[in-house]
Amino acid sequence: MRAQPIASHFIAGSYVESPGGKGFDSLYPVTGEVIAKMHAAAGSTIDKTVAAARAAQKEWAALSGAERGRVLRRAAEIIRERNRELSELETLDTGKPLQETLVADAASGADCLEYFGGIAADIHGEFTDLGGSFAYTKREPLGVCVGIGAWNYPIQIACWKSAPALACGNAMIFKPSETTPLTALKLAEIYKEAGLPDGVFNVVQGFGDVGAKLVAHPGVAKVSVTGSVPTGARVMAAAAEGLKHVTLELGGKSPLIVFEDAEIENAISGAMLGNFYSSGQICSNGTRVFVQKDIKQKFLDRLRERTSKIRLGDPMDEETHLGPLVSKPQFEKVLGYIGKGREEGARVIIGGDAATVPSFKEGWFVAPTVFADVTDNMTIAREEIFGPVMCVLDFDTEEEVVARANATEFGLAAGVFTKDIQRGHRVVAALEAGTCWINAYNLTPIEMPFGGVKKSGIGRENARAAIEHYTQLKSVYVEMGDVESPY
């Protein structure tokens, strides 16, 4: 069961220990068993990592985009070759079912590396004809970028942040969540094997204080964070001291709207994927499911029936649909929200408690839970729960549901199910969300930008939009004639 790496950190191409840093354990969420003992990075380790990254970045940026792209594409190939090994490690670290990690974690990370490896040779500026003279722009790397990851998709997030950064000629220091520290180290090994120069991608472990030191370090040019709104606010404030570039992908309380003409089985599939996948631990989840009143009861009856067939169990069993929550604190938090929902008058139609799985009595399992009769002012309809808890609300009109869907400080995602494609486009145009789906939910192909508005974030992950966040423009004016002067 142990997955102990050679050492806690991967710096300048080698595993490094930092015994002066605070120790912490990585736990298997099914049993609470310790699978790895780690050390947080001490201050001197952070300084050495930034220095190594700064030196390596110059070498990396001097290569052509085509050369950088070849390294990224080779890394993608290695990830695919080792997908099962990486998926099993991800399952061990997060508790997510192997059924999911085999298709949605390392595999999607490989897609990301392949995509940015493919466009690395095509990162360029623009030419402007000025009638004799001309101007052009160049996209240049920022320098050393820091990526701070969340615990729900550890290797995917590490790829989403590092691939565009490296394609643009930057170096990256990645700090995974202390809850899920393991797969980022494997990614560092893979980058090295693929030919990435030592020091271009580094991994340091630790808690919030390590992240804060990285953000504040004068040798760092940019910070990209996936995390909570409070974490994002702290990072943005700290980065402002050095006027650093910042990308934030934060929390959500996203609406999923089901109109009376929707194909109901597809809508229920979308709602289940948007609430129960990864045990509900996805920031973009559509946890406020608005169902038009005429089909509400039909929707609830079928939803209950399908939810009852979800199989909880050993996440290493590929037949398991739902694993445990990632940690005991998260388990207790989610149960607290379920209790709050009951107290405030919401009706549980299925689930609503911790789940007991044979042979894993110590695991942090929560039964997939659906609340009906939820109103907009209830705590479970306003705050991000981050567990397998769905809130179903009803509505009468399009205008009403759009207003209620937008009545939140979040704006990460939204979904609409309807056969009326004109209404679908009209509604998503009115929704205050950065990522929207029509007749689908939580599909995030690498070719589509992903990110939020309002308190759900700043900037975008993925697609060509990410290139703007990892480069800076240099403008050049070229005079082809004589320089006129009154002097």
Please state the φ and ψ torsions of residue 469, each to the nearest 5 degrees.
-85, -10
3-state SS assignment for residue 442: coil
Q: Is 283 annotated as a binding residue?
A: yes
Q: Is 391 annotated as a binding residue?
A: no
Q: Is 177 annotated as a binding residue?
A: yes
- Please, which residues have CB within 8 angstroms of residue 254's CB and are 6 or more apart in sequence? 274, 284, 285, 286, 287, 288, 410, 412, 413, 414, 415, 433
Q: What angle separates helix 65-81 from helix 106-119, to the nearest 10 degrees?
A: 160
DSSP character string of 340-383: HHHHTT-EEEE--SB---TT-TTS--B--EEEES--TTSHHHHS
Q: Is 100 annotated as a binding residue?
A: no
Q: Is 424 annotated as a binding residue?
A: no
Q: Is 175 annotated as a binding residue?
A: yes
User: Within a 10 A sphere around the Cβ of 345, how many other Cβ atoms?
Assistant: 11
Q: Is 150 annotated as a binding residue?
A: yes
Q: Is 368 annotated as a binding residue?
A: no
* Token representation of residue 16: 């490094």
Q: Is 185 annotated as a binding residue?
A: no
* Token representation of residue 311: 């199989």
Q: Is 196 annotated as a binding residue?
A: no
One-letter amino acid for residue 294 of the chain: D
Euclidean distance between the first and the last CA atom of the chain, given in angstroms as a whole number: 80
Alpha helix ranges (H) inside 5-126: 43-62, 65-81, 83-94, 98-104, 106-119
Judge residue 472's burial from the number of C-beta atoms within 10 Å of its C-beta, 0-12 exposed, 13-18 middle, 19 or more buried. Answer: middle
Q: Is 243 annotated as a binding residue?
A: yes
3-state SS assignment for residue 287: coil
- Residues with a known catalytic role: 161, 249, 283, 461
CA distance 266 to 440: 8
CA distance 480 to 238: 45
Q: Is 227 annotated as a binding residue?
A: no
Q: Is 327 annotated as a binding residue?
A: no
CA distance 344 to 206: 38
Q: Which helix (H) or strand (E) holds 194?
A: helix 183-194
* Token representation of residue 365: 């399992």
Q: Count the residues in the chain.
A: 487
Annotated binding-site residues for NAD(+) read 149-151, 175-178, 251, 283, 384
Annotated binding-site residues for K(+) read 26, 93, 243, 454, 457
Annotated binding-site residues read 26, 93, 149-151, 175-178, 243, 251, 283, 384, 454, 457
